[in-house]
Amino acid sequence: MLKKGQEITTTIQSLAYGGQGVARVDDFVVFVRDALPGQKINALVTKKRSSYAEAKITEVIEQSPWAITPLCGHFYDCGGCRFQNLDYQQQLNSKSQQVKDLLERIGGLQHFEFYPTLPSADIYYYRNKMEFSFARKRWLTEADMKSGPIEVSDNPVFLGLHARGFFDKVVDIRECHLIPPPAIEILSSIRKIAESSALPVYSTFDHQGFWRFVIIRSCVFTPDLMVNVITSEFREEIAEKLKHELISAFPQITSLFNGITKSKSSVAFCEEEHLLSGNTTISERIGDFRFEISPNSFFQTNSRQVRQLYDHVVKLAEFDGDETVYDLYCGAGTIAIYISRLVRQVVGFEAVASAIRNANDNCHLNGIENCAFVLADLKDMLTNLNQVIETFPKPQIIILDPPRGGMHPKTVKAVLTLRPEKIIHVSCNPSTLARELAEFCAGGYVLKSVQPVDMFPHTAHVETVALLLRSD
């Protein structure tokens, strides 16, 4: 029987959803941090539960046959990537296996067509948005600790991505291979401006300080580039310095903002937006359609791969041009607009007012007249279902794209009450997807196919598209 503190020797068999290695010791499951499939390791058991244990590697005896050298020098410290040291095809294989296992184990689902994970066209520099955090504490690498005494500043300013497993320490990054290269040069300039300002970095411990976040959005299909430096208050002299130094050094910036947040949370979001230079929005394309993106707008992070995702939705729907489609959790209307020319009408439902405004603006921008967007709390949809049906025709197809936490049970019931011919479920969380697909199957639907899509190479995240058909 395994015990906490015990040393074990084992081989990693696979990767669990979330990224931990999976091993078995005397038929007992052990999850191992930072492990790769195929590694033979010595590990220390750090936690023991009735059905599993957790361990950390103390020695790699034999390296994985799929191990590769990571491109980024920050890889082993930074939380931005998880699997840059794992061959990309093996990443795809692992994601396929994770999704299939969760659907079978959690949902009890069987007898459906399962397709291998669709690879991303780009596996580096694919993100159109990155959020960076200021911090007073820098993550010390192994090399830092071996180099001797660490110099401590009276006003420490560090800017980068969070260290793995730490919300209060950042890796003070000098390179990143997830977002196009100009971002790191811009980040370096902002760091220098913050250092020279003598204003302190905000801390979530005492909720004091000025410098908070930097958000960089770099479009793929247009030349637009947005930079939003988020601080705790607006200071005219800082705003002028940001404008002068950043626009002089980086004339390719088309939108420069100083966002303000009073929130105590660690979410990179601003309640006020001060436009320092350029346009109030940037523009990105998905296929033939253009979308305006404001500082707080949600937009799919992988511009190239989102088209592949939406094209698969279109393929599954097999539109004949006469359908009414309900798009639940429609956000800024990207799916609704993408399919609008293929159907009679799309009705989008969304709980965030700003997203509804963005959706209507994007329809106007693209000359789309057959989309309607409804501001609604989707968990109350069942209560107001008669009103919805009186206003809009009943749908032949419903497209679902819920947040990571999944659908409210009442929303699932509302969809079952509407009884569309097809349900196309897009999910960023295969665990919640498994539960929801099981509920739909219990409610009179048959799961026909499942297609994972890799939107985020080198991470543990995977998008999944599932097709359900009404059984009668």
Do the beta carbons of residue 83 and residue 95 sit within 8 Å? no
In whole angstroms, give the CA distance from residue 267 to residue 422. Answer: 36
- Catalytic residue status for 441: no
In whole angstroms, give the CA distance from residue 307 to residue 314. Answer: 10
- Taking alpha carbons only, the member of 295, 358, 309, 367 closest to residue 331 is 358
Would you tell me how many other CB atoms lie within 10 Å of the CB of residue 164?
A: 17
Do the beta carbons of residue 94 and residue 176 sit within 8 Å? no
Do the beta carbons of residue 307 and residue 315 sit within 8 Å? no
Do the beta carbons of residue 234 and residue 272 sit within 8 Å? yes
Give just the sign of the alpha carbon dihedral 445, 450, 456, 459: positive
- Taking alpha carbons only, the member of 404, 409, 410 closest to residue 429 is 404
User: What values do phi and psi take at 41, rounded to 5?
Assistant: -135, 160
In whole angstroms, give the CA distance from residue 346 to residue 328. Answer: 10
Burial 208-231 (b: 16+ CB within 10 A, else e): ebbbbbbbbbbbbeeebbbbbbbb
Give just the sign of the alpha carbon dihedral 289, 290, 295, 301: positive
In whole angstroms, give the CA distance from residue 365 to residue 337. Answer: 11
Q: Give CA angle at 454 (102, 361), nearest 5°.
A: 110
Do the beta carbons of residue 243 and residue 236 sit within 8 Å? no
In whole angstroms, give the CA distance from residue 297 to residue 217. Answer: 11
CA gyration radius, the chain = 24
Where on the phi/psi map is residue 368: left (φ > 0), alpha (ψ -120 to 50), or beta?
Answer: beta
Which of these is catalytic: 81, 176, 219, 428? 428
Do the beta carbons of residue 282 and residue 295 sit within 8 Å? no
In whole angstroms, give the CA distance from residue 82 to residue 79. Answer: 7
Do the beta carbons of residue 314 and residue 384 sit within 8 Å? no
User: Which residues share a beta bridge with 7?
Assistant: 44
Active site residues: 428
